[in-house]
C-alpha cells in the first residue's frame, strides 16, 4: 500500500526529544518529503511495526499523527504549490 504520514509534535514536555525519535522511526520506513511529512510504499506488516514504534513516543494529549492510505501511488493525485523539493533526487 502507499501511505502519506503527517505528524505534529508539541515542543512542550520534552517534545524535541520525542520529535527526534518520531523522525528517525518514520525515516526507517518511508521517504521524507517535507518537514513533518513522509510517504512511500509499505506493507501492512511494516505499517503495523511503524505504528507500534511510534506509539512509544507520541503523547496522545499533545501530539498528532495522520496516516493517509491508498492502494497504490497512482491512485493518489499530487499537486505541488511553491518550491517543489524533490528529496528523491539524491539517489543514484
This prediction has a pTM of 0.80
What domains can be seen in the chain, in order of their start residue?
A: 2-70 (3.30.70.240)
For residue 7, what pLDDT is reported?
96
Annotated binding site: 8
For position 39, what pLDDT does the model report?
A: 95
How high is the mean pLDDT in each 10-residue block of the chain (92 residues)? Answer: 94 90 97 94 96 95 93 70 60 44
Annotated binding site for Mg(2+): 8
Residue 92 has a pLDDT of: 42
Q: Residue 34, SS3?
A: strand
Question: Can you give the pLDDT at residue 82?
Answer: 75
For residue 51, the Cα-to-chain-centroid distance in whole angstroms is 10
Amino acid at each position: 500500500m502507499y501511505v502519506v504520514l503527517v505528524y505534529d509534535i508539541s515542543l512542550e514536555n520534552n517534545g524535541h526529544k520525542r520529535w527526534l525519535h518520531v523522525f528517525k522511526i518514520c525515516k526507517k520506513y518511508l521517504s521524507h518529503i517535507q518537514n513533518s511529512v513522509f510517504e512511500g510504499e509499505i506493507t501492512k506488516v511494516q505499517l503495523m511495526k511503524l505504528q507500534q514504534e511510534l506509539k512509544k513516543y507520541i503523547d496522545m494529549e499533545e501530539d498528532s499523527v495522520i496516516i493517509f492510505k491508498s492502494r497504490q501511488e497512482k491512485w493518489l493525485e499530487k499537486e505541488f504549490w511553491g518550491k517543489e523539493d524533490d528529496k528523491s533526487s539524491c539517489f543514484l
